[in-house]
Chain A
Amino acid sequence: MTTAANSAALVSVKDVNKHYGQLHVLKDINMEVSKGEVVVVIGPSGSGKSTLCRAINRLETIEGGAIYIDGKKLPEEGKELAHLRADVGMVFQSFNLFAHKTILENITLGPIKVKGVSKATAEKEAMALLERVGVAQQAPKLPAQLSGGQQQRVAIARALAMKPKVMLFDEPTSALDPEMINEVLDVMVQLAKEGMTMIVVTHEMGFARKAADRVVFMADGQIVEQATPEQFFTNPQSHRAKDFLSKLLTH
C-alpha cells in the first residue's frame, strides 16, 4: 500500500472546534485525507475521535472551522447536506441496520430513494455486495436474526451501495464478540486494498498496522501525533502516545 499519489484532499478538516457544555471535545482540529488513503484514528476514550468521525458527515454539528468533502463545504442542513452525505459512507459501532426492513431492503433503500435506481438494478447490485461481504444467503432475513458480525458486514454493504467517495468507520468492531471481529476486519482490509478512501476510528491496532497508510493519534480533543503505522507503533514521539501504547501492551 502506497500513500495516495493524488495530493488533492478528499476530506479536509479545517480549524474545527466543538464543545459539549464545558467540555472542549474538539480543539482546533486540522486534518486532510487524500483519495485512496486509509487513515486510522486512535486514542484513549473521550479523546474526541468518534466525535470527529461523526462531524465529517455532520451527525455532530461543529462550532468553528469548516469541513470539506471533495472540495465542497459541508452544508448545515437541507437537501444539499443529504446529497453530500450520500457520498460519505458511515459504519456505526452499533450497526444501526433498519430494524423493520429485511437485509436486502436495508441495502436497496438508499440507491432506490436517494439515487433513483430501479428496484431490479438495486437488488442485483445489493446481492453482489452481500456476496462480497459473505452474507448473501441472509438477504430475506430481518437484522435481528443475524449475528453481530453479520449485521456489521451488512452495514458496510449498505454504505457501499451508495458508491461513496469515502467511508467512515466509527469503532466498527467495539460492539462485537471477539470471535466476530476478524470477519468484519477482513472485509475492511479488503476494501482498503481495493483503494477505498477510509477514515477508521478503532481500537484494533492489528488493523492499523495491516491496512493503515497513516495513524492519527488523538488525546483530549487534539491531534497529538500523525505518522505511518510503522513509525507510530515502533517509535512514538509524544509523551501521550507513548503512555497510551504502553497501557495497551501490558495485557
Chain B
Amino acid sequence: MDVIIESLPIYWDGFLRTLFLAAVSGIIALVTGTILAAMRVSPVKALRGFSMAFVEIARNTPLTIVFFFCAIVLPRLGVRFDQFEVAAIIALSGYTSAFVAEAVRSGVNSVPVGQAEAARSIGLTFGQVLNLVVLPQALRTVVPPLINILIALVKNSSVAGAFFVLELFGHARQLANDHGDAVMQVLAGTAVFYLLMTVPLGILAHRVEKKVAIAR
C-alpha cells in the first residue's frame, strides 16, 4: 500500500499521459472513422473499396502488430517522428478508426432508407443527405457502441507502454521493476487508475443510451 501512496505522483503523471494519448487518438479515430463510414456508403466504388480494405485490415490485425508497423516499418518507409508517442497515436487512432467506421456504418444502416430517399427527393446532394439527415440520426444510435470503443481504446493504449511510451502502463512497468517485493500492489494501483477512466465512460454510455433514443 505504501508503494502506491509513495508513487502517486508517478501514477498521476502516467494517468495524464494515458488520458492524453487516449483523448488525442480517440478524437482522430472518431473523425477518420466517420469519414471511412461515409466512404463506405458513398456511390463511388473506389472509395467504398478503399474504406472496406482499410477497415478489414486494421480491425483484423492484432494491435501489437499495428504498433510494430507504426514504430518500426513506417520510419523505414520514410515517415519519421521524434517521439514514439506519435507512432503510438498513429497506431491507436488507425486501429480504433476501423471499429468506429464499423459502428457508424451500422448506425447509418439503422436509419430507415426512406429518410435518405426523402432527403434526396427534396434535392439535397449526397453530402447534405449524409450530414443533415442520416448521420445526425445514426450518431444517436451509435453513441453507446462508440463509448465502448473508447473504453477499449483507453485499455489498448497500454500497449504503447511496451513501446517505450511512458504512459500509465509504462510507468507501472518501471515501478514494478523498482519494487520487486510489491508487484501485486503496483499492478493493483495501475488497474485502479485505468478504472478511473473507463468506469465513468461506462456510466456515461449507459446514460446517453437512455437519453438519445429517438421516437419513430
- Chain A residues packing against B (C-beta within 8 Å): 57, 59, 77-79, 82-83, 85-90, 92, 94, 96-100, 109-110, 113-114, 142, 144-145, 155, 158-159, 161-162
**B190 sits at the interface (CB 8 A):** no
CB < 8 Å: which of A87, A109, A161 contacts B132? A109
Task: Point out the residue from B43, B118, B123, B128 that lies within 8 Å of A96, measured CB to CB.
Answer: B118
Interface presence of B137 (CB below 8 A): yes
- What residues of A have a CB within 8 angstroms of the CB of B136 in the complex? 100
Min CB distance A166 to B, Å, is: 12
Which listed residue, A82, A94, A98, A158, touches B120 by the CB 8 Å rule? A82
- Determine which of A85, A100, A144, A145 lies in contact with B122 in the assembled complex, contact meaning CB atoms within 8 Å: A85
Task: Assess the A88–B121 pair: CB atoms within 8 A.
Answer: yes
| Given A92-B114, A96-B115: A110 in contact with B122 (beta carbons within 8 A) | yes
A99:B216 contact, CB within 8 angstroms = yes
Give the Cβ gap from B20 to chain A, nearest Cβ, in Å.
33
Q: List 9 A-B contacts (CB under 8 A).
A: A86-B123, A89-B121, A90-B121, A92-B118, A98-B115, A99-B137, A110-B123, A113-B132, A144-B215
Between A86, A96, A109, the greatest number of chain B beta carbons within 10 A of the residue's beta carbon is seen for: A96
The answer to whether B41 has its CB under 8 Å from any CB of chain A is no
B interface SS class: helix
The reply on B133 being an interface residue by CB < 8 A is yes
- In the complex, A59 Cα to B122 Cα: how many Å? 12
Give the distance to chain A from B62, nearest Cβ to Cβ, in Å: 38
A82 to B136, alpha carbons, bound, how many Å? Answer: 21
Docked complex Cα distance between A113 and B136 (Å): 16
User: Are B214 and A99 neighbours in the complex by a CB distance under 8 Å?
Assistant: yes
Q: With an 8 A cutoff between CB atoms, is B86 at the interface? A: no
Q: How far is the CA of A88 from the CA of B118 in the complex (A)?
A: 12
Give the Cβ gap from B109 to chain A, nearest Cβ, in Å. Answer: 15
> Which 3 residue pairs spanning A and B have beta carbons closest together?
A86-B123, A110-B122, A96-B118
In whole angstroms, how far apart are the Cα atoms of A90 and B121 in the complex?
Answer: 6
For the A-B complex, the count of residue pairs with Cβ-Cβ distances under 8 Å equals: 74
Docked Cα-Cα span, A241 to B176, in Å, equals 86
Specify the chain A residue showing the minimal Cβ separation from B125. Answer: A82
Contact A114 B114 (CB under 8 A): no
A162 touching B216 by the CB < 8 A rule?
no
Give the chain B neighbours of A113 by CB distance below 8 A.
124, 128, 132
Let me know if B56 is at the binding interface, CB within 8 A. no
In the bound complex, CA of A156 to CA of B211 (Å)? 31
The reply to whether the CB of B47 lies closer than 8 angstroms to some CB of chain A is: no
Is A85 a contact partner of B120 (Cβ separation < 8 A)?
yes
List of A residues within 8 angstroms of B216 by Cβ: 99, 144
- Distance, CA A57 to CA B124, complexed state (A): 13
Contact in complex: B122, A86 (CB < 8 Å): yes
Q: Once the chains bind, are B122 and A162 in contact (CB under 8 Å)? A: yes
Of chain B, the residue at the smallest CB distance from A57 is B121
Residue numbers in B under 8 Å from A110 (CB-CB) = 122-124
List of A residues within 8 angstroms of B120 by Cβ: 59, 82, 85
Also in contact, A96 and B122, with CB within 8 A (given A109-B132, A144-B215, A144-B216) = no
Closest A residue to B215 by CB, please name it: A144
**Residues on A with beta carbons closer than 8 Å to the beta carbon of B112:** 94, 96
Residues on the A chain within 8 Å of B115, using CB: 96, 98-99
Q: Is the CB of A159 within 8 A of B122?
A: yes
Tell me which residues across on chain B come within 8 A of A87, comparing CB atoms: 123
What are the residues of chain B within 8 A of A94 when measuring CB–CB? 112, 114
By beta carbon, the residue of chain B nearest A161 is: B122
Task: List which B4-61 residues lie within 8 A (CB) of chain A.
Answer: 43
Q: Mark B133-152, 1 if CB is under 8 A from A, else 0.
A: 10011001000000000000
With most chain A CB atoms within 10 A of its CB, the pick from B119, B125, B128, B216 is B125
A189 CA / B7 CA spacing, docked (Å): 79
Interface flags, B104-121, vs A, CB<8A=1, else 0? 000000001011011111
Give the CA-CA distance A98 to B133 in the complex, in Å. Answer: 7
Question: Are B121 and A85 interface neighbours, CB within 8 A?
Answer: yes
Contacting pair A100 B118 (CB below 8 A):
no
The one of B123, B137, B214 in contact with A162, judged by C-beta atoms closer than 8 angstroms, is B123
Q: Which residue of B lies closest to A85 (CB)?
A: B123
Given known contacts A110-B124, A162-B123, is B117 in contact with A92 (CB within 8 Å)? yes
